[in-house]
Structure 1
Amino acid sequence: MAPQTGSTEKGTQPVSAFLQHFTWEEIRSHNGRGQSQEQWLVIDRKVYDVSKFSKHHPGGSRVISHYAGQDATDAFVAFHNDKTLVKKYLKSLLIGELAPDQPSFESNKKKSLLEDFRELRCTIEKMGLLRPNYVFFFLIFLHFVVLDAASWLTVWYFGISFVPFLAGMVFFTIAQIQMGWFQHDLGHCSVFRKPKWNRLLQIVVINVLKGLPASWWNHLHNQHHAKPNCFRKDPDLNMHPLLFSLGKPLSVEVSMGTPSLHPYDF
């Protein structure tokens, strides 16, 4: 373990004397696998023990566990709108911070790539591209409700002969596809400012209108965005029998778990 000292070197962030200091090697060893079942992660150079908290994590235990032994700063920023509220829960999980001689990012990550990503995100936020257009989303909601109703009314009024059935099927299919994308935006909390309103309308759309559980979709989709294209961590890639059928090169790459799938998967 690195020496516990409050001194800092030039170019590093100031650290508190009472917090324990850790190296990246120590943090990587607490990834929830092997002999140590503890799960540590880093957010803004602070080290947190989420071993017990992961089971109660609102976004799902696997999402936070996928970052065990790693830096989760960018994921934390992306997944949490109300960071002030979330940081209150983090206080009880804080166990230390990175030692002054440790970089703010892992050795397997490119500093220039991280800096470019954070600069791009900051630019997008300043441009207001993440602010929702309520008129647009209202019209999306209205048009798939109308199409869904039209599909059933067509069959009910004209009967189940070929033409009415075909027209009703077209209306119903378009409505279902649009519902899927709309609940996707709600699942990302991209429509309303308050997450609870997004969750409530998502339940109406996917549970009531589509007949699928929102909790199931969120559980899988949160993992996908936490570790996109990481084999064994991204559920979208865990359908490996289907991937193997797409060709030998992809099958070999996926089965071998090569780093090219995702630079942060280890």
Structure 2
Amino acid sequence: WLGVGLYNGQAEMTQPVSAFLQLFTWEEIRSHNGRGQSREQWLVIDRKVYDVSRFSKRHPGGSRVISHYAGQDATDAFVAFHNDKTLVKKYLKSLLIGELAPDQPSFESNKKKSLLEDFRELRCTIEKMGLLRPNYVFFFLIFLHFVVLDAASWLTVWYFGISFVPFLAGMIQMGWFQHDLGHCSVFRKPKWNRLLQIVVINVLKGLPASWWNHLHNQHHAKPNCFRKDPDLNMHPLLFSLGKPLSVEVIRCSLWVLLAVGAVWHLNPSGPV
């Protein structure tokens, strides 16, 4: 992958300039943020410049999550979001339009160099320690345990009927497991994560996986950034509570909605 040696703790990467690629400055790249007259969207990954204007609509992670980095450096987000680099490289080749000029830094001027270096060194250390490698036994037991709970919930509805008891029984912890699947953290191949996520959140919880992924991918692409993080796209009246409290209110509301979705799937008539 293009990013080999990216997280080796060095201050900056140096790569030979390809003679056939067009050279760009950060000023040119920032002007292609999707908001100008041309509506073009460029982004930088490991000093290479890619035009994702048309591809953004076909992006498996959603058009918004990729457009949030239009006109910016997306190297760290690209590494974090894509486990299967071999698969992604096939798409990158057709989108490549140039690279940063030799006199241009590898990161934007509004980003703190030391903070980027610390983050990349930390990620490199975490990967070497194996903390990102999934434990299949652990996730299998998690899946097995909430399948048993789901079956128990149906038996509760069958035995007790529609009442407050099956309502409580429906409050099962599938949310965290489908969350890990949505992050492609359980299996190495993204497709297996997606398939099992559909089983967990679509079939067992009764909520659409595409809806959750669309919002959650944006959240991790631009965490806690107003107008870009859907978790913070709240009603203006909530700001009267103050920013810290309003943020917590909206996050709690999202988890309540997920819990209600699971309960509604098991007991559509609701508690009596």
User: Is the structural similarity TM-score above 0.5?
Assistant: yes
Aligned equivalent of 1:98, options 85, 100, 125:
100
Q: TM-score, normalised by structure 2?
A: 0.80
Matches within 5 A, 1:1-266: 12-159=14-161, 177-241=172-236, 243-247=238-242
Residue 188 of structure 1: CA displacement? 0.5
Task: Render the CA deviation track for 1:153-176: whole Å, top value 9, x for unaligned.
Answer: 13422456776876677xxxxxxx
Count of matched residue positions in the alignment of Structure 1 and Structure 2: 243
Task: Render the CA deviation track for 1:206-240: whole Å, top value 9, x for unaligned.
Answer: 00111111111111111111111111111111124
- The 3 A distance-change label for structure 1 pair 165 and 41 is closer
Give the Cα–Cα distance (whole angstroms) in 2 for the partners of residues 150 and 111 of structure 1: 53
Whether the 8 Å contact between 1:203 and 1:214 is mirrored in structure 2 is yes
Task: Render the CA deviation track for 1:68-117: whole Å, top value 9, x for unaligned.
Answer: 00000001111111112212211111111111110000000001100100
Residue 149 of structure 1: CA displacement? 1.6
Structure 2 gaps of 5+ residues are 1-7, 249-265
Secondary structure in 1 aligned to 2:223? coil
- The 3 A distance-change label for structure 1 pair 93 and 166 is closer
Structure 1 gaps of 5+ residues are 170-176, 254-260
Whether the 8 Å contact between 2:42 and 2:71 is mirrored in structure 1 is yes
Residue 13 of structure 1: CA displacement? 3.0
Give the Cα–Cα distance (whole angstroms) in 2 for the partners of residues 135 and 163 of structure 1: 32
Residue 145 of structure 1: CA displacement? 1.5
Residue 252 of structure 1: CA displacement? 12
Q: Which sits farther off after the overlay, 233-242 or 207-216? A: 233-242
Structure 1 segments, 4+ long, off by >2 Å, are 5-9, 154-169, 240-243, 245-253
Task: Render the CA deviation track for 1:5-51: whole Å, top value 9, x for unaligned.
Answer: 99999xx4321122111110110000000323111100110111111
Residue 146 of structure 1: CA displacement? 1.4
Secondary structure in 2 aligned to 1:14? coil
Q: TM-score, normalised by structure 1?
A: 0.82
- The 3 A distance-change label for structure 1 pair 56 and 8 is same
Q: CA RMSD in A?
A: 6.0
- The 3 A distance-change label for structure 1 pair 252 and 155 is closer
Task: Render the CA deviation track for 1:93-150: whole Å, top value 9, x for unaligned.
Answer: 1111111110000000001100100110111011011111112111111111112221
Considering Cα pairs closer than 8 Å and 6+ residues apart, tell me whether 1 or 2 has the greater RCO: 2
Residue 178 of structure 1: CA displacement? 1.3
Whether the 8 Å contact between 1:231 and 1:238 is mirrored in structure 2 is yes
Whether the 8 Å contact between 1:230 and 1:262 is mirrored in structure 2 is no
Secondary structure in 1 aligned to 2:173? helix
Residue 241 of structure 1: CA displacement? 3.4
